[in-house]
Amino acid sequence: MPNTLTETTTVSDMFKIRGRLPGVGLLLLFGLLAAGCASDAELDTLDPQSEVAETIWNLAFPVFILAGVVLVLICGAVLYLALKHGVRTYEGDDEFPEQISHNNSLEIAWTIVPALIMAAIGVFTIITHIDINGTDDNSITIDVAGESVEWEPTIVVVGQQWWWEYRYYLDGSQIETADLGDPRDLPPADIVTSGQFAFPTGTEVELIITSRDVIHSHKIPALNGTRDAVPGRYTPWKIEANGPGVYFGQCSEFCGLSHSRMRMQAVAMTDDDFQAWIDMQMSDATFDESLQGYVDAYRETGVGSVDDVENDALRGLDVFTTQCASCHLVGGLNDLVNGETYDGADTLAGSAPNLTHLANNTTFAGGLFNLYNNEDGSLNRDDLAAWIRDPNAVKANRANDLPDGVLPRGMPAHNLSERQINDVIAFLETLGPRPTDERIAATEVE
Amino acid sequence: MAITEEPLALASGGASNVERPLGALTRPKGGNGWRDWLSTVDHKKIGIMYGVAAMFFFVVGGVEALLIRVQLAAPEGQVLSAEVYNQVFTMHGVTMVFLFIMPLAAAFANYLIPLQIGARDVAFPRLNALSFWVWISGAVFLNSSWIVGGGGADCGWFCYSPNSGLAFSPSHGVDFYALGLQIAGIASLVSAINLIVTVLNMRAPGMSLFRMPVLTWMLLVTQFLLLFAIPVITVALFLLMFDRLFDAQFFNPETGGDPLLWQHLFWIFGHPEVYIIILPAFGVISEIIPTFSRKPLFGYSFMVFSGIAIGFMGWGVWAHHMFVSGIGPFSVAAFSLSTMFIAVPTGVKILNWLATMWGGKLRFTTAMLFSVGTVAMFTIGGLSGVTHSLAPADTQQTDTYYIVAHFHYVIFGGGVLGLMGGLYFWWPKVFGHMLNETLGKVHFWVMLIGFNLTFGPMHILGLQGMSRRIDTYSPGFGFEFWNMVATIGSFTIALSVLVFFFNVWKSRRDAPNLPAPGPDPWDARSLEWMIPSPTPEHNFDTVPTVEGLDEWWHRKYGYDEDKRVVRIATIEEAAQDGSAQGVHLPAPSFWPLVLALGLPIIGYGLIFNLWLCVVGGALAGLAVYSWALEPVDDPDADHGHDDHHDDSDGDGDGAEGGE
């Protein structure tokens, strides 16, 4: 080249600006890696807590590294070329570089080599794919109402706007032999929960996922990837957990107004804890004496009487039976209100959470709020009251003032007075048993 | 086809023998002012209108993007309600895909394809005008739902059923989505046919397919993708429309319909759509990088064939959008593998661009900066694409911000940056003055930094488990910091766009005081640079005879005995001066505009009152008949007609002069 001096200044000039280009790429890469190591996010996909999630991560991690290496090579090449070959102008420069138009063997090589790399990745992908889609033929022995039952851990997961329902069929026959039928009218289950579900640690739990309305997606990243809940279909999936704990999830398919507020938690328990949880969930709600009198009166006359005006919970029970019980089921109560025989834990409207053991949960409103305050373990009255007062205000829905032909979605506001709201909360608090302080601490949403 | 490409179609002065069927059907005369723009059939003016309209919708979609980022800047964002947020993110996606980047690519295709193949116009000039007017009427119709439809569509650009059904989306937004995109789809389909015929039939003598510039090649592949993909989305939209307007129940699971059918139809269109967006940008940078490397494009035939390969393989990967939807494990495995292998031809392209730069003399003009930026940024998008072609890994990534990061690196980092480079490169050819290079470089660096600040953190957010399409997030999940960074980045991008608009304004204002760019300001390689800037109305004085690839470069340069490049002609010697007079050009027509105006009226009719459909249909029908009946030419025009009648009778649109 004729003028090396000019060439040099040009190169250093260019370094100032062009250096950023690959620099940004590198930054990104390190950012990615940092995210993998340093994150304490509950929904982190890089922090597997189960065998299946680890299998996925073991496949993905080397590919992340490989992609990072290729990125550095490509951006490095761009940087190198910019530094080495940059010129400021073609003005007065009649010298042309060598006019290389092609090199077939080189090009064939860089077609075949990436193809081979992809083929190798493909082999591992298929192996992992088969692995995570297979199911174990496992079962555990549990005690159901005094009888010992071999249970193949299976949970029917039903999404709806904007909460998750979990249904346990402990004898398994309905799942194995009978068609589950329409997700909006499933056969009565032994246990129905919403927003939170329990399962035993160390064994694979099959999930049968479906939806009552639109498509949702059930994702608890620490335990497994996501799987869509498609109305009209049942999609199989599975989870497992290496140890007891609470694992956070979030609906990951856009499902309308409160998609962002459709959350859930998987609670992995030791076998003993799980057995205790089953026993508790299988039982009806238990009312204290004052409430029981109301229930008994109802049972006899069809009309409850609120004669003790000093008892908030009792007044709340009255509000509940008149305002809430047409959708929400409380085991031991709704059979009276609706004149139907209580037949297992189920929802009457097919689309409202079963509240039999609400106070045993640690979240409410589709996993959005803590039911208990993290600081002192007291009931989170503020959010609960706001939620009952006007659900749409704290979790967007479409339940009030609807045009003709539009289905209500979400919980409507019932124009309850502040006193009624206070009373209902007092009643709901009785639907225990209260969870342990450890569990309250572990399910801290924030 | 009857294409007249005689060297020069000068006025013969012969008397007109064309009768006027009706006085009203006289072809309008060209001229100045708005009437000229409304009636033009000139591919260059249509290209400019596509570009201007696309940039307008870039601003619209950009404002929507900023609203999204403001909402997500901090936890528990309250700027938008959930309802409005869902509309805004839906319309952001729809606007950016259908109303910004596709028409911007159409601007390049319209303007440059005829120039690059040495033609005077596209094959069907009136149809070309129709494409533009139909597209813009669809675009305006779609956005009018903000005003008359009770808000924009709220179902996401992918509009999965049954969430798109009347029961779950009761406003008219989704109706406007379904109808507006059908109207815009007509435009893409018509345009695709038009441009395919143009490329296949109207190339200059000697320009075999494998002498075509890579940009024309990539645009040709794009048109074939449109030709086959648009009908699929049209069918899907049609079914959705019938579901919503007439209770047809195609996608309603309650009555036996199938929501997954929509997903398949949408993504059979939707994945080729990705290549519809990216291939034009690949073409653009394949023109720019060789020019500013002073070398021919490395591996022309590999570049062409990898583009074609992408075009074919793009049809076999759609279900990777559905890995977790519950399709069978065998399907998932097959689509996982096919998705991995589509990385191969894209990888070839990246390496060939690098090889083009290898050993070259790299001049980093703004256009070159954008092109090299495209290579680097698209590489990031491509590599993240590989990471979720692994179906098991995708179960952790799908529907998270990792995917948002991925496709913005592909579409923005690849598509938008590439086309921005194209704007700087061809600006002098279109407008006759350069864009300011200093401002251009500011534009580039601010945009690149803003882009990486916005979308880079989204990789991290996605891997931290932040779901897509959420209108708020709670504190404590670790999303706060990177969301704030992304919001800052998005305003940085907005700043860079303002710099661009300022540059457009300033460059135009300063142009009279600066030397004219001449026909070939960049020492470029393809035919459009051998004609004056701005392009004369008739494009080429004489249609060039092409002897090889990079025809224009080879008219300027040859090789000496040592195989060194030597100049054999100056630009002025080799270029045409645009002085030809009386070249026969297609006559303008208002009927494409009138026909296009009928379609949104039919759309409003379907939504609000079926009688309006009669009005719209009558208007469109009138336009169709008038179009057919109007004379092929303006009898009073000052140029001859006989030059084409021999071979264009009965095929009015087929001939250049047939309009």
What's the pLDDT tens digit per position in A116-157?
999 999 999 999 999 999 888 888 999 988 889 889 999 999
CB A232 to CB B259 under 8 A? yes
A94 — pLDDT class (breaks 50, 70, 90):
confident
State the DSSP H helix or E strand holding residue B88, giving kind and residue range, or none if neither.
helix B82-94
User: Are B320 and B345 a contacting pair, CB within 8 Å?
Assistant: no
A8 — pLDDT class (breaks 50, 70, 90):
very low
pLDDT, average across residues A96-109: 93
Which member of B297, B345, B360 has the closest CB to residue A85?
B360
Give residue A26's pLDDT.
53
* Cα distance between residue B377 and residue A117, in whole Å: 22
How much is the mean pLDDT over chain A? 84
CB A228 to CB B324 under 8 A? yes
User: Are B477 and A43 a contacting pair, CB within 8 Å?
Assistant: yes
Confidence check: pLDDT of A347 > 70:
no
B90 — pLDDT class (breaks 50, 70, 90):
very high
* Cα distance between residue B250 and residue B239, in whole Å: 6
Give residue A4's pLDDT.
37
Angle between helix B214-246 and helix B591-607 axes, rounded to 10 deg:
30
Closest C-alpha to A193, from A121, A269, A257: A269
The reply to whether ipTM tops 0.95 is: no
Give residue B637's pLDDT.
55
Q: How big is chain B by its Cα radius of gyration, in Å?
A: 25
| pLDDT 10s digits, B433-464 | 999 999 999 999 999 999 999 999 999 999 99
Distance of CA A443 to the CA centre of its chain: 13
Give A219's contacts in chain B (Cβ within 8 Å).
399, 465, 467
Which member of A41, A126, A445 has the closest CB to residue B478?
A41
Confidence check: pLDDT of B618 > 70:
yes
| A400 CB within 8 Å of a chain B CB | no
A67 — pLDDT class (breaks 50, 70, 90):
very high
Please give the CATH number for the structural domain made up of A140-282: 2.60.40.420
Give B258's contacts in chain A (Cβ within 8 Å).
232
Give A161's contacts in chain B (Cβ within 8 Å).
168
Confidence check: pLDDT of B156 > 80:
yes
CB B390 to CB A93 under 8 A? no
Confidence check: pLDDT of B19 > 90:
no
Confidence check: pLDDT of B556 > 90:
yes
DSSP state of A344: S
Q: How many CB pairs under 8 A join A and B?
A: 348
Backbone phi and psi for residue B267, each to the nearest 5 degrees, phi listed first: -85, -20
Domain locations in chain A as residue ranges: 4-88, 140-282, 289-442
| pLDDT 10s digits, B204-253 | 999 999 999 999 999 999 999 999 999 999 999 999 999 999 999 999 88
Confidence check: pLDDT of B652 > 70:
no
| A226 CB within 8 Å of a chain B CB | yes
Please name the residues between 291 and 350 in chain B that touch chain A, using a CB distance below 8 Å. Answer: 293-302, 324-326, 329, 332-333, 336-337, 340-341, 343-345, 347-348, 350
| A105 CB within 8 Å of a chain B CB | no
Task: Pick from A7, A94, A96 the residue to mutate for testing the B interface (most B CBs within 10 Å).
Answer: A96
Residues above pLDDT 90, as percent of chain B:
84
* Cα distance between residue B592 and residue B126, in whole Å: 7
B110 — pLDDT class (breaks 50, 70, 90):
very high
Q: How many CB atoms within 10 Å of residue B639?
A: 20
CB A17 to CB B441 under 8 A? yes
CB B390 to CB A42 under 8 A? no
* Cα distance between residue B459 and residue A32, in whole Å: 7
Give residue A404's pLDDT.
74
Confidence check: pLDDT of B585 > 50:
yes
Confidence check: pLDDT of B301 > 90:
yes
Give A256's contacts in chain B (Cβ within 8 Å).
86, 154, 163, 168-169
pLDDT, average across residues A90-98: 87
| pLDDT 10s digits, A308-329 | 678 889 899 889 888 888 788 8
CA-to-CA separations, A306 to A290, A312, A316, in angstroms, rounded: 10, 10, 10
CA-to-CA separations, A74 to A22, B142, B260, B355, in angstroms, rounded: 9, 41, 39, 11
Task: Pick from B164, B366, B460, B520 the residue to mutate for testing the A interface (most A CBs within 10 Å).
Answer: B460
* Cα distance between residue B296 and residue B550, in whole Å: 8
Please give the CATH number for the structural domain made up of A289-442: 1.10.760
Tokens 């008949």 -> residue: B625
Give residue A307's pLDDT.
67
CB A31 to CB B460 under 8 A? yes
| pLDDT 10s digits, A356-382 | 899 999 999 999 999 999 888 899 999
* Cα distance between residue A370 and residue A357, in whole Å: 15
User: Are A231 and B161 a contacting pair, CB within 8 Å?
Assistant: no
HSE (CB half, 13 Å, CA atoms) of A397?
24
Which is higher by pLDDT, A332 or B130? Answer: B130
How much is the mean pLDDT over chain B? 91
| pLDDT 10s digits, B464-494 | 999 999 999 998 889 999 999 999 999 999 9
Closest C-alpha to B496, from B548, B463, B454: B454
Please name the residues between 162 and 201 in chain B that touch chain A, using a CB distance below 8 Å. Answer: 162-163, 166-170
Please name the residues between 44 and 73 in chain A that touch chain B, using a CB distance below 8 Å. Answer: 44-46, 53, 55-57, 59-60, 63-64, 67, 70-71
Specify the range with the lowest mean pLDDT, choosing from A278-292, B141-155, B591-605.
A278-292
- Spatial neighbors of A338 by CB under 8 A, at least 6 apart, are A325, A326, A348
Strands (DSSP E) contained in A347-439 are: 363-364, 369-370
